[in-house]
Chain A
Amino acid sequence: MKGKRPRLIKVKPPEKAATGVPGFDAVTLGGLPQGRTTLIVGGPGSGKTIFSLQFLVHGARVDKEPGIFVAFEEAPARIEANLEHFGWNIGALVPKRLAFMDAQPTADLLHSGDFDLGGMLAALGAQVEKMGAKRIVFDALDIVLSLLPDAAARRREIYGLHEWVLAHKLTCLMTAKAGSDDTTSFGLQPYGFMQFMVDCAVMLNHRVVQGVSQRNLRVQKYRGSGFDENEAPFVIGDRGFDVAITGRLGRVERKVTNERVSSGVERLDTMLGGGYYRAASILITGFPGTAKTTLSGSFAEAACNRGERTMFVSFDSDSNEVVRNLSSVGIRLARHIESGMLRMISARTIIGSAETLLVKIKAMALAQRARCLVIDPVSTLSRAGNELTAHGVAERLIDWCKADRITLLCTSLLDDTTNDENGSTPLQISTLADTWIHLNYLLQSGERNRGISIIKSRGMSHSNQVRELILDHAGITLTDTYTAGGDVLMGTLRWEKESALHDADVIAKAEAQLKSLRLDAEESELEARLKNVQTELAAKQVEKSLLAHTAMNRHGDLRRSHERMKELRSADASLRAPPPVKRK
Chain B
Amino acid sequence: MKPPKPPGPMKALATALPVFKFRLYAAEDTQNSTQAFANILAICKEHLADRYEIEVIDVLRQPKRALQDGIRMTPTLVKLAPLPMRTIVGTLTQTQRVMTALGIEAVPA
**A→B interface (CB under 8 Å):** 102-103, 105-106, 108-120, 122-127, 144, 147
Contact = CB atoms under 8 A, between A and B. Distances in A.
A116 B97 CA distance: 20
B74 A114 contact: no
B89 interface: yes
A109 B36 CA distance: 16
B29 to A, nearest CB: 11
Nearest to A126: B63
Nearest to B31: A114
A123 B64 CA distance: 6
Given A112-B88, A112-B92, 20 more contacts: A106-B87, A108-B87, A109-B87, A110-B87, A110-B89, A111-B88, A113-B91, A113-B94, A114-B90, A114-B93, A117-B72, A119-B27, A119-B66, A119-B76, A120-B71, A120-B73, A123-B63, A123-B70, A125-B63, A126-B63
8 contacts: A110-B88, A112-B92, A113-B92, A113-B94, A115-B90, A116-B74, A118-B30, A144-B72
B32 A123 contact: no
A111 B90 contact: yes
Contact of B27 (A108, A118, A124): A118
A124 B73 CA distance: 12
B48 interface: no
> Which secondary structure dominates chain B's binding surface?
mixed
B91 A119 contact: no
B32 A117 contact: no
B80 interface: no
A3 B91 CA distance: 46
Contacts of A110: 86-90, 97, 101
Contacts of A126: 63-64, 66-67
User: Most B CB atoms within 10 A — which of A106, A109, A119, A126?
Assistant: A119
Nearest to B57: A119
Interface residues of B, number: 34
A401 B91 CA distance: 62
B35 A119 contact: no
Given A103-B72, A108-B86, A113-B36, A118 B91 contact: no
Contact of B71 (A114, A123, A127, A147): A123
B25 interface: yes
A110 B28 CA distance: 22
B24 to A, nearest CB: 11
A335 B97 CA distance: 77
A176 to B, nearest CB: 18
Contact of A116 (B27, B64, B67, B98): B27
A116 B30 contact: yes
B60 interface: yes
Contacts of A105: 72-73
B66 A122 contact: yes
Contacts of B90: 110-115
Nearest to A113: B91
Given A122-B60, A123-B66, A126-B67, A114 B91 contact: yes
Interface string B76-90: 100000000011111
B98 A115 contact: no
